[in-house]
Each structure stands twice: as structure tokens, then as C-alpha cells.
């Protein structure tokens, strides 16, 4: 170890000057600013109706569009008033592996930020202790032979790179933006998981209703087959009428296996969403009648949507990261100032290592890039291009979010009219079937007319079930399109993530 070449007072003045340069240094590169929200005053081309139409059927209640994101509850699925659904979502939030991946990825990003903060903002301090056995020729001292001795060294070294032009702070800004991105990815995973559980439960309820309706239709058709068969045996019906009724019953029976397969697939998907294998998952059965249609539907202002959607916030975080990377690339064009210091002791006896004179050194280095074949300038231009690309991704994400909300709002308006129309069609088809059946029994109409009336009723009945399920699902889709209420205080996703970290 060499002795310092400058005295202590001089070294202190150098340190003070360099520290002042670092503290007063500017941060090169652009300062990030949140993009302006779109100036649109509504999501759809024409204003929404304040209330949707209602019908006396299930899922036929009026829905009211209420302005203001504060009306969207954090646990929006509770508006369906289904305790089995609430319990299933709680289990999914606790055990879903995809959500666990997002939580772990966020923790990793946070620890990377902690590591970079320690590496860039604080000096590196290292202790070194060494021992060696050395052989030295005595000729240099005018004596014959050689000498053997032990040499012990102990030292503490300090190294610090001054952030005179903000390169380190821009790098930390970039890493912090990556943490923000992963946080919004977690919120997005939370929203996707809850939405998938709700829509899958609705799909199961719809399929179950179709199966029940199909079985009732099949039972009625089988009963009709028995009556026509007796009439055929008594000569009151033709063989053609019997075959036609049997064919219709067989066609109805053929629709059951695909529906049962779809029901099993929906239940298997629910099991996977809650982190269970299908054979062991205790998934409750869902029915449309057990679900309550949310009636007050909060609709955010367009200017609020960019702060509510996790995908928009994630795109903004990547834009922020790209902006900070421009600053890092710009700072690399400027000088880098490094401070180094060391303090230690040296002795040929271990017990007297710290009893002898101390050795110290202090120095500063200045590195100014001069020629790198255009590398640094090209890296800065690449960073600017990456920012332009991130800006395009952000604007496209906003546009797709607005389109998503507009689509669902119009779908809900159409769903209300569809449920009303399907309810009326089902009631008319039921009445037509009953009248046609009585007329046929009295000989006032043909058997073909009875088959047509029966098929119309079957179609209308299944159409009503699908219309009801679609309205339930589109309501859930709107909650998702509006962001799902994650930004509310003490959101479930944040609470869950914090519990995992702790």
C-alpha cells in the first residue's frame, strides 16, 4: 500500500468541491410528465340512456348508469349478491398461481430497485485483511543471503462515483418505473382473475340452465312421442307423424352431450382459476336465478379512465422508463468523477498490526469519453426511438381502452332490449304452443303446425337463457373495462400483495 501524496487539508478541499459539484449537478435528459388525458366528454358517439329497459323475466331489471368512479366498489363482484361467488373469488385470490407469479415478480423488481439504490447513491466500502510469507534478498541492503518474514495487511477502501449529471438518478428513475410497471401488472392480474371467475361462473350458470331447459323440453317431447305412438296404434295418427315426433325428440337429445361437456369444461376452468385440480376442487354450482343483476352501473368520466385502467398505467410506466433511459444515455456523454480512499495498516507481526503507523491514500479520477466510434450517440438515438415506440404503445392502449368501454356500454343497452324482446318472444311462443297443442288434440290443426310451434318455443326458451347470461357477463365486462375499482383505498390486491411480502 502506498502513502497519500497530498496532505489531509488539501484532500478535504477536493472532496468538498467534488461533493458540491455532485449536489448542484443537473439531471440531463427529459423530465417525465404524465401524458394528458383525452379531452373526450363521453365514451360513445351518442349519449347513453340514463336507464335501460326492463322486463318481468329473470335478469330483466332496469340498469341505471351512474356517473362517477367513486361509485364503483373495490369488490365489484359483490354486486351479484352471491356468497358462493364471493367465497370462490377469495379462494382464487389466495391460491391462484398466476397471481402468485405477479406478486413474486413485483417483489423481485422492488429488490432490484433496493440493490441499485445502494449501488448508485451510496459509496462502496470494503474491508480487506491479508497475510503473506515473503522472501527478500538482502543484497539491496548490502548484506549477503536472504530474509524470510511474514507480512500482514489490513485496510478499508472507499469508492464513490459522483452523480454530477444525474446519470445514476436517471437509472434509478428507470428502475423505479419498472417497479411501477410490475405493480400495475399485478393489479391487472388481479382484475383479470376476478373477472374470469365471475364470467366463468356466469357461463356455468347459463349452460346449466340450458341443460335443465333441454331436459324439460326432451321430457315433454318424449311424452308427446308416447301419445302419438298410442294414437298411431289406435289408427288416430299416421306413421309419418310418429317418425317426425321421434326425430324431433332425438334431435333434442343430441344437444345434451355437448352442453354437458361444456358444463364440465367450465367447472374445470373454475377449479384451475382457484388453484385446484378438478378432481379435488369443491366448486359450488351456479344458477342464473341465484345471481342478482347489478342495477346501479358506475360510469367513469373519460378523463378518469387513464388513471383507473391497470393496462394504461402499465403502459405509462414503460413510457416513463423509456424517458429515464434517454437521460441515462445522455449522461454517458458527460464526464464521470470517481473518488477513492483507503486507510489501513501493515506489519510483519500480527499482534502489532494495528499498533504501528497507519497508511492512507485518497484520490479522484475524471473520465471523459472522447471517441467510441459513435457508440454513445447511437445509444442515445436508440433510447429516443424506444421512447417514441413506448409513446405509440401508450396511445394505442388508451384508444383500445376507450373502445372497450364504448363497446360494452352499447352492448349493455342492447342486452336490455334483447332480454325484453326474448322474454316477450318466449311468452308468445309458450302461448302459441299451448293453443296449438289444444287445437291439435281437438283435430283443429295439423301435426306439422304443432311441431313448428314446439320448435319455436324451444328456440325462444333457450334464446332467453342466453340473453340473460349475456347481460350478466357484459355487466362484469364493464366493471373490468372501467378498471375494477383497484385504485380505491385498501384495495384487495394491494392488501394481498403486502401480506405476501410480510
The span from the CA of 101 to the CA of 98, in Å, is 5
Give the model's pLDDT for residue 141: 63
User: Quick check: 350 pLDDT over 80?
Assistant: no
User: Quick check: 295 pLDDT over 90?
Assistant: no
Grid cell of 179 as nine digits: 417497479
Give the model's pLDDT for residue 492: 45
The average pLDDT across 268-297 equals: 91
The average pLDDT across 277-292 equals: 90
User: Quick check: 142 pLDDT over 70?
Assistant: no
The average pLDDT across 245-257 equals: 91
Question: How many C-beta atoms lie closer than 10 Å to residue 435's C-beta?
Answer: 13
The span from the CA of 493 to the CA of 90, in Å, is 11
What whole-number percentage of the chain has pLDDT above 90? 47
CB 453 within 8 A of CB 436: yes
The average pLDDT across 166-192 equals: 94
User: Quick check: 456 pLDDT over 60?
Assistant: yes
Task: Return the minimum-mean-pLDDT range out of 199-208, 252-261, 300-309.
Answer: 300-309
Which of these, 235, 23, 222, 6, lies nearest to 121 by C-alpha position? 23
Which range of 18-22, 270-274, 279-283 scores highest in mean pLDDT? It is 270-274
Q: Please state the pTM of the whole predicted model.
A: 0.83
The average pLDDT across 470-478 equals: 95
The average pLDDT across 443-457 equals: 84
User: Quick check: 113 pLDDT over 80?
Assistant: yes
More confident residue, 478 or 136: 478
User: Quick check: 29 pLDDT over 90?
Assistant: no
More confident residue, 449 or 54: 449
The CATH code belonging to domain 36-122+184-334+378-501 is: 1.20.1600.10
Instruction: Give Dmax (Cα) for the chain.
Output: 141
Give the model's pLDDT for residue 59: 66
- Residue 245 pLDDT level (bands cut at 50, 70, 90): confident
The average pLDDT across 206-215 equals: 94
The span from the CA of 129 to the CA of 77, in Å, is 63
Which of these, 189, 173, 478, lies nearest to 310 by C-alpha position? 189
User: Quick check: 249 pLDDT over 80?
Assistant: yes
Give the model's pLDDT for residue 264: 95
Mean pLDDT of the chain: 85
Rounded to 10 deg, the angle between the 167-233 and 447-481 helix axes is: 170
The span from the CA of 138 to the CA of 134, in Å, is 13
Give the model's pLDDT for residue 21: 46
The average pLDDT across 66-89 equals: 86
Task: Return the minimum-mean-pLDDT range out of 142-146, 201-205, 412-416.
Answer: 142-146
What whole-number percentage of the chain has pLDDT above 70? 87
Give the model's pLDDT for residue 58: 56
User: Quick check: 13 pLDDT over 60?
Assistant: no
Sequence spans of domains, the chain: 36-122+184-334+378-501
Give the model's pLDDT for residue 486: 75
Residue with cell 331489471: 61
User: Quick check: 194 pLDDT over 90?
Assistant: yes
User: Quick check: 14 pLDDT over 60?
Assistant: no
CB 217 within 8 A of CB 433: no
User: Quick check: 384 pLDDT over 70?
Assistant: yes
The average pLDDT across 44-62 equals: 71
Grid cell of 74 as nine digits: 373495490
More confident residue, 152 or 416: 416
As a 3-state breakdown, the chain gives helix, strand, coil percent values, each rounded to 5, of 65, 10, 25
Amino acid at each position: 500500500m502506498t502513502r497519500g501524496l497530498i496532505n489531509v487539508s488539501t484532500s478535504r478541499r477536493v472532496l468538498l468541491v467534488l461533493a458540491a459539484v455532485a449536489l448542484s449537478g443537473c439531471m440531463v435528459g427529459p423530465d417525465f410528465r404524465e401524458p394528458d388525458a383525452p379531452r373526450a366528454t363521453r365514451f360513445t358517439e351518442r349519449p347513453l340512456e340514463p336507464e335501460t329497459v326492463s322486463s318481468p323475466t329473470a335478469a330483466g331489471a332496469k340498469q341505471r348508469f351512474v356517473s362517477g368512479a367513486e361509485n364503483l366498489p373495490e369488490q365489484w363482484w359483490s354486486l351479484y349478491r352471491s356468497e358462493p361467488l364471493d367465497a370462490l373469488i377469495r379462494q382464487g385470490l389466495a391460491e391462484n398461481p398466476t397471481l402468485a407469479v405477479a406478486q413474486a415478480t413485483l417483489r423481485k423488481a422492488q429488490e432490484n430497485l433496493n440493490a441499485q439504490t445502494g449501488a448508485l447513491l451510496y459509496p462502496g466500502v470494503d474491508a480487506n485483511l491479508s497475510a503473506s510469507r515473503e522472501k527478500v534478498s538482502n543484497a539491496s541492503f548490502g548484506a549477503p543471503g536472504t530474509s524470510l518474514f511474514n507480512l500482514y495487511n489490513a485496510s478499508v477502501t472507499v469508492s464513490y462515483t459522483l452523480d454530477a449529471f444525474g446519470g445514476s438518478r436517471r437509472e434509478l428513475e428507470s428502475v423505479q418505473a419498472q417497479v411501477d410497471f410490475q405493480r400495475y401488472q399485478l393489479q391487472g392480474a388481479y382484475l383479470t382473475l376476478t373477472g374470469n371467475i365471475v364470467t366463468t361462473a356466469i357461463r356455468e350458470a347459463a349452460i346449466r340452465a340450458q341443460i335443465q331447459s333441454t331436459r324439460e323440453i326432451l321430457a315433454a317431447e318424449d311424452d308427446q312421442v308416447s301419445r302419438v305412438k298410442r294414437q298411431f296404434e289406435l289408427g288416430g295418427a299416421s306413421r309419418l307423424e310418429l317418425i317426425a315426433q321421434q326425430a324431433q325428440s332425438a334431435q333434442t337429445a343430441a344437444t345434451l352431450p355437448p352442453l354437458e361437456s361444456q358444463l364440465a369444461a367450465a367447472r374445470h376452468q373454475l377449479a384451475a382459476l382457484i388453484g385446484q385440480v378438478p378432481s379435488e376442487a369443491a366448486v359450488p354450482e351456479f344458477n342464473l336465478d341465484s345471481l342478482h343483476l347489478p342495477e346501479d352501473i358506475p360510469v367513469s368520466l373519460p378523463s378518469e379512465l387513464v388513471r383507473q385502467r391497470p393496462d394504461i398505467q402499465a403502459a405509462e410506466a414503460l413510457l416513463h422508463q423509456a424517458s429515464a433511459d434517454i437521460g441515462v444515455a445522455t449522461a454517458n456523454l458527460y464526464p464521470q468523477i470517481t473518488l477513492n480512499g483507503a486507510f489501513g495498516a501493515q506489519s510483519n507481526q500480527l499482534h502489532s498490526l494495528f499498533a504501528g503507523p497507519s497508511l492512507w491514500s485518497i484520490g479522484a479520477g475524471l473520465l471523459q469519453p472522447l471517441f467510441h466510434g459513435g457508440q454513445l450517440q447511437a445509444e442515445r438515438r436508440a433510447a429516443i426511438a424506444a421512447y417514441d415506440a413506448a409513446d405509440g404503445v401508450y396511445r394505442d392502449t388508451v384508444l383500445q381502452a376507450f373502445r372497450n368501454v364504448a363497446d360494452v356500454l352499447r352492448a349493455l343497452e342492447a342486452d336490455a332490449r334483447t332480454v325484453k324482446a326474448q322474454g316477450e318472444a318466449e311468452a308468445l311462443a309458450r302461448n302459441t304452443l299451448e293453443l296449438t297443442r289444444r287445437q291439435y288434440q281437438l283435430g283443429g290443426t295439423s301435426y306439422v303446425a304443432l311441431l313448428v310451434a314446439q320448435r319455436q318455443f324451444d328456440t325462444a326458451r333457450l334464446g332467453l337463457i342466453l340473453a340473460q347470461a349475456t347481460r350478466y357477463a357484459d355487466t362484469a365486462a364493464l366493471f373490468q373495462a372501467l378498471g375494477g375499482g383497484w385504485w380505491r383505498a385498501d384495495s384487495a390486491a394491494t392488501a394481498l400483495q403486502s401480506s405476501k411480502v410480510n
